[in-house]
Amino acid sequence: MITFQLPTINADSALLLNTPVAATDVVLANGVLTVKDESGAAALVLKASDLINFDYNAYAAGTANVVDVDLTGVTIVNNGVYRLTISAPYVQSFFGGGAESNAVFRTRTYIVSTDGTATVAELQAAFIARINADVNAYFSATSQAGDVVRVTADAAGFGPLTVTAPAGATVADFTAWVSPVGTVDEVLQYIPNSALVTGTYNRYIITYRKFIRNNIVNGLQVALPVQAIVYLNSGDAGTAATVTKLTNVLSGAYTPVADYLGCPAV
C-alpha cells in the first residue's frame, strides 16, 4: 500500500490543550510567556524578548489535489508514442522512504502509443487506462469533456501533484491542494498519546531563542533558534478566546504592554 508522510516539523517541544482556558493557560507576566498543557503544567516558558516569529493555522482536514490535463493541443501522430509523468512530494514507499530518499513510488511515468488512425480521444483513453491499471499509483484518472484527463490524488497527504504532459497539452488545477493541519495522525507524531489526542487541533509553531551551554564560548551560553508546537482542540468552546489571546501575545498586540516588561528569572 502506498502511503504518505507530511514534512516533519523540527520541534524542540510540543504541548496540547483539549480544554484550553485563555485566562489561566496562556499567561504573560513580568516579560515571561507561560503556556500550560492539559495537565495544568507549565509546558512552555520563555521570555517575550526571545520570541522570533510564529505561524498559526486552524484545523484543516486537507483537500486532495485534482489536476486537469487538456490534450486538445497535442499534435497527434499515427503510431506515435506519448509520455505522461505524475509525482507528488510526500509519497512514502514500502521501505519507509519519502521525498528525502527519492523513494521508488514517488514518480510514475506512463508511456502509451497510438494506432494507425490516431485521435486525441484515443490518446486520452490510453492514458486513463494506463494510470488506472497502475497498482502503485496514488491517484486515479477520469475522462472529462474536451479531451481532458482529470487526475485526482487519493488523499491530501500526498501533497500537490506535479504533472508533465506531452508537448501541446495544458495542465491546470481543477481543485487546489490544501495541506492537512492538526489531524490526529499529525498530532500523534509529536504527542504519541492516543488517549490524549482525541479531536482535531488548531496549531501554533512558535520560534524562539533558546540558550544552551556550549564549550566553544568557554562554557557560556549561546542562543539557538528552536520551535515549539502548541495544539488547541478546535472543537472546544475555550479555543477561540485562547487563540485570540495567544495570537495577541505573540504578535505584540497584547495589552497591557507592561506585561511584556520585567526582569524574568528564566
pLDDT in tens, 115-145: 999 999 999 999 999 999 999 999 999 999 9
Same domain, 74 and 166: yes
Of 175, 208, 226, which residue constitutes the final position of a domain? 175
Rounded distance, CA 179 to CA 174, Å?
Answer: 16
Same domain, 41 and 140: no
Of 147, 175, 203, which residue constitutes the final position of a domain? 175
Same domain, 17 and 97: no
Rounded distance, CA 32 to CA 129, Å?
Answer: 61
Same domain, 170 and 229: no
pLDDT-based confidence at residue 220 (cuts at 50, 70, 90): confident
Query: How much is the pTM?
Result: 0.82
pLDDT-based confidence at residue 95 (cuts at 50, 70, 90): low
Q: Higher pLDDT residue, 92 or 73?
A: 73
Same domain, 78 and 165: yes
Residue 137 forms part of a structural domain: yes
Domain count, the chain: 2
pLDDT-based confidence at residue 104 (cuts at 50, 70, 90): very low
Return contacts of 260-266, CB within 8 angstroms, 24+ apart: 260/28, 260/31, 260/48, 261/30, 261/31, 262/29, 262/30, 262/31, 262/32, 263/30, 263/31, 264/30, 264/31, 264/32, 264/47, 266/32, 266/45, 266/46, 266/47
Same domain, 16 and 79: no
**What is the rounded (10 degree) CA torsion for 176, 53, 234, 41?**
150
- Residue 9, pLDDT score: 93
Percent of the chain whose pLDDT exceeds 90: 82
Same domain, 113 and 209: no
Same domain, 97 and 191: no
Do 157 and 180 touch, CB atoms closer than 8 A?
Answer: yes
pLDDT in tens, 148-160: 999 999 999 999 9
Task: Quickly tell me which residue has 484543516 as its cell.
Answer: 60
Same domain, 148 and 73: yes
Same domain, 89 and 113: yes
Residue 147 forms part of a structural domain: yes
Domain interval for residue 244: 3-60+181-260
Residue 105 has pLDDT above 60, yes or no: no
Three-state secondary structure string covering 146-173: CCEEEEEECCHHHCCCEEECCCCCEEEE
Q: Higher pLDDT residue, 32 or 99?
A: 32
